[in-house]
């Protein structure tokens, strides 16, 4: 029987570790792979290195059958919000299983922790640790460690944090889907150095920022390597530079605490902190030094800054209101055809078609399109705008 597995990913950029996951799933008998991939913006509150169209093409060229977009702002939500959006898309695509990279690859443990996160006991422990002065992330971690006899590393690893959120969200939906953890290979999520022939996406981006294109390309699959180098040499990539940071800071300086209050995940303390920090800072480095980074993670602060830059606020729907196809092959077409009869979300590759489906669709497409235009404007060599409307669907 044909089985489809779903993956929630960023592919920023696509590398050998991603290829390992795909090859492993194929070896396990999954003949169709559908991916819900971050669009132009990614979960840590940044703009992606390469365009989403390029990243989706690489995924399909390397064995994925269908790539659909997790648009902004959902692609830049916290781990919980990002997972919720990705699961929402995969469920509507009708996948049989959800696979994720994992530092521990201990499915039994991950499921036990995810189940605990949904209990009243966890909520009570979380509130108690927050009341003691811990940040949300610290309180969550301490609540889990108080329940389970674990070392901190098990629940602090980036992939496992997301894995817990994927499982938790499926549980909340009552979606009895199979989970397939794939042991992470080589370098850890935030490692800049390579290990055992694998480099993290962070390490690859660092090499690109230092113009070490050939070294960066060593860690992407052979069949896309030359295309990857060509994109870099032609300047079709985004690395935040001084000009981009000035644009961010200029935008922040125009906002009041009331404006920041409309941004998701920006509480009262942060609203006033951002207003004050923006008014007295000369650059982004100074801005971070003037923000309460001990109480809040840098990723959360960056997500707020990105939302401010792109004008994301609480008027946007809480979940992606459509499924946009970025790339596919023949098997991907089969997934789409099957999903079209069951999905509660409209499915199309065309922004023009999707934006006419509802007001919510139009609002989200406008934000994602703005993000894509911003990325192309600040490519090393600026590219054309409106690519969300002009780029053809990649079919292999």
d(CA 126, CA 116): 12
pLDDT band at 87 (very low <50, low <70, confident <90, very high): very high
Structure tokens at 78: 């916290």
- Scored b (16 or more CB within 10 A) or e, 348-368 reads bbebeebbeeeebbebbbbbb
Q: Tell me what the mean pLDDT of segment 223-246 comes to.
A: 96
What Cα–Cα distance (Å) separates residue 165 from each residue in 59, 82, 115, 118, 177?
A: 23, 9, 10, 11, 14
Q: Is the pLDDT confidence value at 121 over 90? A: yes
d(CA 225, CA 227): 6
Q: What is the pLDDT of residues 147-175, one digit of tens each?
A: 998 877 777 778 888 999 999 999 999 99
Structure tokens at 289: 């030094």
All residues at 6 or more sequence positions from 49 whose CB lies less than 8 Å from its CB, including other chains: 12, 13, 204, 205, 208, 237, 238, 239
Q: Is the pLDDT confidence value at 181 over 60? A: yes
Structure tokens at 52: 């989403």
pLDDT at 228: 98
Q: What is the pLDDT of residues 290-312, one digit of tens each?
A: 999 888 889 999 999 999 999 99
pLDDT band at 204 (very low <50, low <70, confident <90, very high): very high
d(CA 230, CA 136): 43
Q: What is the pLDDT of residues 60-81, one digit of tens each?
A: 999 999 999 999 999 999 999 9
320 close to 347: Cβ distance less than 8 angstroms: no
Q: What is the pLDDT of residues 90-105, one digit of tens each?
A: 999 999 999 999 988 8
């Amino acid at each position: 029987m044909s089985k489809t597995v779903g993956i929630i990913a960023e592919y920023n950029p696509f590398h050998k570790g991603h290829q390992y996951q795909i090859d492993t799933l194929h070896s396990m008998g999954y003949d169709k792979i559908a991916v819900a991939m971050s669009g132009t913006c990614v979960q840590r509150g940044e703009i992606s290195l390469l365009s989403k169209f390029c990243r989706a093409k690489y995924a399909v060229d390397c064995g994925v059958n269908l790539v659909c977009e997790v648009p902004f702002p959902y692609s830049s939500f916290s781990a919980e919000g990002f997972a919720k959006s990705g699961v929402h898309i995969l469920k509507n695509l009708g996948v049989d299983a959800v696979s994720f990279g994992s530092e521990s690859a201990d499915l039994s443990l991950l499921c036990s922790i995810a189940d605990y996160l949904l209990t009243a006991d966890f909520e009570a422990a979380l509130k108690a640790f927050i009341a003691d002065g811990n940040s949300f992330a610290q309180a969550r971690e301490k609540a889990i460690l108080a329940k389970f006899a674990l070392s901190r590393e098990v629940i602090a690893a980036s992939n496992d944090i997301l894995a817990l959120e994927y499982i938790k969200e499926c549980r909340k939906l009552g979606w009895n889907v199979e989970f397939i953890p794939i042991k992470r290979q080589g370098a850890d999520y935030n490692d800049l150095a390579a290990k055992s022939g694998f480099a993290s996406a962070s390490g690859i981006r660092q090499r690109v920022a230092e113009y070490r294109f050939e070294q960066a390309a060593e860690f992407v699959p052979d069949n896309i390597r030359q295309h990857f180098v060509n994109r870099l040499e032609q300047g079709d990539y985004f690395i935040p530079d001084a000009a981009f940071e000035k644009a961010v800071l200029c935008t922040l300086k125009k906002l009041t605490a009331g404006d920041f209050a409309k941004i998701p995940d920006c509480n009262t303390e942060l609203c006033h902190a951002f207003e004050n920090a923006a008014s007295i800072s000369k650059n982004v480095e100074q801005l971070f030094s003037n923000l309460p980074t001990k109480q809040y993670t840098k990723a959360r602060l960056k997500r707020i800054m990105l939302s401010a830059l792109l004008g994301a606020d609480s008027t946007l729907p809480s979940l992606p209101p459509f499924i946009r196809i970025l790339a596919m092959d023949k098997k991907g077409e089969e997934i789409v055809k099957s999903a079209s009869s069951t999905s509660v979300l409209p499915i199309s590759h065309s922004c023009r078609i999707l934006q006419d489906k509802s007001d919510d669709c139009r609002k989200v497409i406008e934000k994602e399109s703005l993000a894509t235009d911003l990325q192309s404007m600040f490519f090393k060599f600026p590219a054309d705008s409106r690519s969300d409307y002009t780029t053809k669907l990649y079919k292999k």
